[in-house]
Structure 1
Amino acid sequence: MTDTLTPVLTANWADERAWTLSAYAATGGYEALDIALGMAPEDVQTAVKDSGLRGRGGAGFPTGVKWGFLPPADPENPKPRYLVVNADESEPGTCKDIPLMMASPHTLVEGVIISSYAIRAERAFIYVRGEVLHVIRRLQAAVREAYEAGHLGTNIHGSGYDLELVVHAGAGAYICGEETALLDSLEGRRGQPRLRPPFPAVAGLYASPTVINNAESIASVPAIVKNGASWFAGMGTEKSAGVGIFSLSGHVKKPGQYEAPLGITLRKLIELAGGVREGHELKFWTPGGSSTPLFTQEHLDVPLDFEGVAAAGSMLGTRALQIFDDSVCVVRAVLRWTEFYKHESCGKCTPCREGTWWLVQVLERLEKGDGKPEDLDLLLDQCDNILGRSFCALGDGATSPITSSIKYFRDEYLAHLEQGGCPFDPAASTAWAESK
C-alpha cells in the first residue's frame, strides 16, 4: 500500500475547461465505454466485483455484489431496471461528490452509462441536491453533450444498447441521502425512508428492480473497466481496495480534496495539507463526516480504510475529515451538529423525531453551563434509546458525535458546568474567575 496521492478521479481537474466533452475526450474519455460495450454485461459486473470497489457513499458495501442482487429478468412479467445515482451530498463536512461533478461531470456520466449497461438498465437518474444549482447546470450540460455525441440515447456507439439519463434536482432534504427516501422523492412524494423488505433491488423506483449507488462509486467504474480489475485491487488495502477522495476541511493550511489509496493515515494527509494552522495543535477530527464517532490525536496513525477505522471505534463513512484544533469547544461543535440532525429529521419515527429534540435541549444547557453533571448520563441514556431504534441511520448518526465526545472530552463538558459557561468564551471565563 502506498501512502502518496494517486489521482484517478481527480487526474483531470486542473485541465483547462475539464468539464467539457472535448477536454474529457482528449484525456481518453469514453474509451472505457467502448471497452464495456464490447463485453457482455455480466463480464462488466464481474470486473467491478473483482476490483474490490466498495460503496463510496458511507456504508462501504461491495458495488459489484450489490449489482448482483437484482433478480433475473422474468419473461412473463418483464419490468424495467433502473440505475439511480445518489448525489444528494448534504452531511456537514462531506464535500467530495460536488467538486467531482463540477470539475469532471463526464466522468460520472460515462460511469452511469457503463454501469447501466452492466445491469441492463435502459433509464438512469442522477439525483442531485437542489441547492447546488451550478452543479446541476453543469451536469445537464454534460448530459446534453453526451446525447449529441451519441454516448447516450438509442443504439449507443452502434451497439444496439439504449439509455436515457435524467438529472433530477432534489428539494434540499438531508434525509433524501437515505436511498429509499431518495426513491420516494424521485417519485414525487415527500422523502421518507421506506420499510424494508422489499429492498430496492427487488422493488425500488416505481416498484421495479433498482440499483442505487453513490456518485463517486459510479464515477470509479470507467477507470476500472479501462485499466482492469487487478489494477484497482492492487491499490489500497486487502479488504478496502482502490483509491478514494479524502476531503480535508477545517484547521489545516491547505484544505481540499486529496485522492489517495484507502489505508492512508490522517498524519500523512495533514502533512500533505501543510499541517495544522500555526500556533495550534490537533484536538479532534471526524473520519467520515459529522455522523461518525470523533477521533483525537491518538488516532492519527489509524489506517483510513473500512476495517481500520471500524476497529478503532468509528466509521470511514464519506471520508470527510473535519479537522479541529485546540481553539474549538467540542461541546459547541457537537451542539451545532445535533441541531442540524434535529432540523433534518423527517419525523417518521419517534426515537429520532423526539430524541434529537431532547438531545439539543440537554446540550444547550450544558454548553451554557446551566446543566449539572448528571446531564452527561442523561445524554448517554437518550443516545442509547435512539441508537438502533430509529427507522433509518439518521438517528444513529446523531448519537455518534455525542457519545464519542463524552468518551474523550468528559472533562470539557464538566468545565462548562464549573465555569458557568463555555471555557473557550473569554467573557464566561472572566465572569467565572471574578466569582471566585
Structure 2
Amino acid sequence: MTVDTPEKLLTPVLSAFWDHSESWTLETYRHHEGYEGLRKALAMPPDDVIAYVKDAGLRGRGGAGFPTGMKWQFIPQGDGKPHYLVVNADESEPGTCKDIPLLFANPHSLIEGIVIACHAFRSNHAFIYLRGETVPVLRRLHEAVREAYAAGFLGEDILGSGLNLDVTVHAGAGAYICGEETALLDSLEGRRGQPRLRPPFPAVEGLYACPTVVNNVESIASVPAIMNRGKEWFRTMGSEKSPGFTLYSLSGHVARPGQYEAPLGITLRQLLDMGGGMRPGHRLKFWTPGGSSTPMLTEEHLDVPLDYEGVGGAGSMLGTKALQCFDETTCVVRAVTRWTEFYEHESCGKCTPCREGTYWLVQLLRDIEAGKGALADLDKLDDIADNINGKSFCALGDGAAAPIFSSLKYFREEYEQHVTGGGCPFDPVKSTAWADTPGSTTHREVTA
C-alpha cells in the first residue's frame, strides 16, 4: 500500500469520535450511525447474521484470534436451555489498555454489538464482566445501559423484532485469573474465580451450566460496523486470514504512547513512525506484541506484520495487541522478574505446575538479578518454565513461561552478565565495569 504519510494507515472506526464532546452518550453515538447496524441485523434471520460475521472474517480481539462467528455457531439450538453472552471486560494483562478506553469513550458500540450477538445465537440475557477498579468506566457503562433501555434498544420487543434482552453489568474484584473465561464464569456464579477443567466447554455448559459465548469487548464492539458498512468493506482492511481493523496499544519508551486503530498487518515500525519513534536519543531493545504473556521480540522484528499469522511466524502471539516498547536502558532480567512476580502473585493455585513453578521462577530470577545466581540457574529457569508451559489448567502458566523462554533466547548474555558481574549491570555502580568487559559494545554505548 502506498501512502503519503504514516497516519493514512490509520482506520478510525471504534475510535472515530473518542475526542468528541460527550462521546459516550447515546445522542453522540446515534449521530455517528449508531444502532443502524442493529436495525439491519434484526431484519435478518439469526443464522444469517452468524454466517455474515463468519464471512466477514472477524476474529477474537482478546487473545488467540478465534473466529467470532464460528464461536457463536457452536451454541446448540433447540436445546430448551437459556443461552448467555458474557463479555470479558476484565482487562488486566500487563501492558494491555484498549478495552477500558473503548468502554470509557464509546460504550454504546459494545451494547449494540451485544444485541446483535444475542439475536444471532438466540440469547435473552447478557453479562458484562468489568474490571472492578475502573469505577469511572463502571459508571459510564451503567449510564449507557440505562440510555439503551430508555430508547428501546434493550428490554422487551427490541425495535419491534420480538427480541427480549436484559444486560447485567458485573464488577469484578480485581483478580487477574478472572480474565480466563471459565474462571470468569465461576466468579459470575458467586464462586472463587478458578479455571474449570474442559470439556465440557462453555458453549455446551457455561454460565449456570447453560450454553454460553464468552467474547472480548473489542470483538463484540466491532460487529455493529460490520453489519452497517458490510462484510466486503471490512475485508478491504487487513490481510486475507486476518481481515479488518483493530486497536493497537502503543506504550513504554515511545514519544507518543496511546491507542492506534489500524488494519491488521501493520508493522511496529509504521506504528512507531506515527508515535514519534522511541524517546529522543534512544533505540528499541525489545518489545511485546500482545502484552507481557506473549514472547518478546526485538529490533529485528520491526517489520513483522502485526496480524495473527505474521506474529505467530515470528515465534510470538498477537494477543491483545499491547505493544510495550523498551529501549536500551532497560534491564531484561529486571523486566522479566517483575512480570513473573505478577504471575506468581495472580496464580490461583489450583494446579501444581503454575502454583509451584511461578514461585520458583521468582526465587531464581531475584537471585540472578541480585548477583547471587549461578550459570546453572539459567538452565534451571528454562527447565521450570518448560514444566509449566502447556501443563497448567489455563493459559496463565503459559503466559508466565513465555517471557522466560524468549528473554533467554534473545538476551542470554545479559543473564550471564548478571551472574558473572555480581549483579545488575544497569546499576550505576555495575554499569561502568560491564562496559569494559569483552563483547559488551551495546552496553558501552549505554553508559556513554
Q: TM-score, normalised by structure 1?
A: 0.97
1:69 aligns with 2:46: no
- Deviation at 1:71? 1.1
**CA shift digits 1:53-109 (9 cap, x unpaired):** 0000001000001111111213xxx11000000111001000000000001001111
The answer to whether the Cα contact below 8 Å between 1:421 and 1:429 also exists between their aligned partners in 2 is no
1:37 aligns with 2:39: no
The answer to whether the Cα contact below 8 Å between 1:362 and 1:371 also exists between their aligned partners in 2 is yes
The residue aligned with 2:408 is 406
Which residue of the other structure, out of 3, 6, 10, is the alignment partner of 2:15? Answer: 10
The residue aligned with 1:315 is 317
- Deviation at 1:430? 5.9
- Deviation at 1:12? 1.4
Q: Distance in 2 between matches of 1:432 and 1:25?
A: 60
Structure 2 counterpart SS, 1:201: coil
AA of the residue aligned to 2:383 = D
The answer to whether the Cα contact below 8 Å between 1:151 and 1:157 also exists between their aligned partners in 2 is yes
AA of the residue aligned to 2:335 = A
The residue aligned with 2:60 is 55
Q: Distance in 2 between matches of 1:298 and 1:321?
A: 15
The residue aligned with 2:28 is 23
- Deviation at 1:416? 1.1
The residue aligned with 1:227 is 229
The residue aligned with 1:81 is 83
The answer to whether the Cα contact below 8 Å between 2:288 and 2:322 also exists between their aligned partners in 1 is yes
The residue aligned with 2:259 is 257
The answer to whether the Cα contact below 8 Å between 2:425 and 2:434 also exists between their aligned partners in 1 is no
Which residue of the other structure, out of 134, 155, 161, is the alignment partner of 2:157? Answer: 155
Which residues in structure 2 correspond to 1:301-380 (within 5 Å)?
Answer: 301-380=303-382
- Deviation at 1:235? 1.0
- Deviation at 1:429? 3.8
- Deviation at 1:432? 7.9
Q: Distance in 2 between matches of 1:52 and 1:260?
A: 16
The answer to whether the Cα contact below 8 Å between 1:86 and 1:128 also exists between their aligned partners in 2 is yes
Q: Distance in 1 between matches of 2:421 and 2:280?
A: 28
The answer to whether the Cα contact below 8 Å between 1:70 and 1:210 also exists between their aligned partners in 2 is yes
1:384 aligns with 2:386: yes
- Deviation at 1:431? 8.0
The residue aligned with 1:169 is 171
Mark the CA change 1:431 to 1:268 in structure 2 (over 3 Å): closer, same or farther.
Answer: closer
Deviates more, 1:416-425 or 1:103-112: 416-425
Q: Distance in 2 between matches of 1:34 and 1:194?
A: 37
Q: Distance in 2 between matches of 1:239 and 1:179?
A: 25
Structure 2 counterpart SS, 1:192: coil
AA of the residue aligned to 2:82 = P
Tell me how many residue pairs correspond in the alignment: 431
Q: Distance in 1 between matches of 2:28 and 2:246?
A: 23
The residue aligned with 2:279 is 277
The answer to whether the Cα contact below 8 Å between 1:50 and 1:233 also exists between their aligned partners in 2 is no
Structure 1 counterpart SS, 2:203: helix
Q: Distance in 1 between matches of 2:431 and 2:68?
A: 52
The answer to whether the Cα contact below 8 Å between 1:21 and 1:145 also exists between their aligned partners in 2 is yes
- Deviation at 1:28? 1.0
1:245 aligns with 2:247: yes
Q: Distance in 2 between matches of 1:378 and 1:165?
A: 49
* Cα root mean square deviation, aligned: 1.3
AA of the residue aligned to 2:44 = M
Q: TM-score, normalised by structure 2?
A: 0.95
Which residues in structure 2 correspond to 1:289-308 (within 5 Å)?
Answer: 289-308=291-310
Q: Distance in 2 between matches of 1:156 and 1:396?
A: 42
Which residue of the other structure, out of 419, 424, 446, is the alignment partner of 1:422? Answer: 424
Query: Structure 1: which 5+ residue stretches go unaligned?
Result: none
- Deviation at 1:427? 2.6
Structure 2 counterpart SS, 1:202: coil
The answer to whether the Cα contact below 8 Å between 1:419 and 1:429 also exists between their aligned partners in 2 is no
1:97 aligns with 2:102: no
- Deviation at 1:39? 1.0
**CA shift digits 1:149-194 (9 cap, x unpaired):** 1110001111111100011101110101100000000000000001
- Deviation at 1:433? 9.4
**CA shift digits 1:287-336 (9 cap, x unpaired):** 01000000000000000000010111000000000000001001000000
- Deviation at 1:263? 0.5
Q: Distance in 2 between matches of 1:299 and 1:222?
A: 34
AA of the residue aligned to 1:247 = S
Q: Distance in 1 between matches of 2:403 and 2:136?
A: 31
**CA shift digits 1:388-424 (9 cap, x unpaired):** 1111110011010111001000111111112211111
The answer to whether the Cα contact below 8 Å between 1:352 and 1:386 also exists between their aligned partners in 2 is yes
The answer to whether the Cα contact below 8 Å between 1:86 and 1:214 also exists between their aligned partners in 2 is yes
The answer to whether the Cα contact below 8 Å between 1:89 and 1:95 also exists between their aligned partners in 2 is yes
The residue aligned with 1:115 is 117
Query: Structure 2: which 5+ residue stretches go unaligned?
Result: 437-448
Q: Distance in 1 between matches of 2:123 and 2:345?
A: 36
The residue aligned with 1:46 is 51
AA of the residue aligned to 1:95 = C
The answer to whether the Cα contact below 8 Å between 1:129 and 1:170 also exists between their aligned partners in 2 is yes
- The percentage of counterpart residues that share the same residue type is 69
AA of the residue aligned to 1:175 = I
Q: Distance in 2 between matches of 1:35 and 1:256?
A: 33
Q: Distance in 1 between matches of 2:432 and 2:70?
A: 59
Structure 2 counterpart SS, 1:379: helix
Q: Distance in 2 between matches of 1:213 and 1:397?
A: 20
The answer to whether the Cα contact below 8 Å between 2:96 and 2:322 also exists between their aligned partners in 1 is yes
Deviates more, 1:24-33 or 1:352-361: 24-33
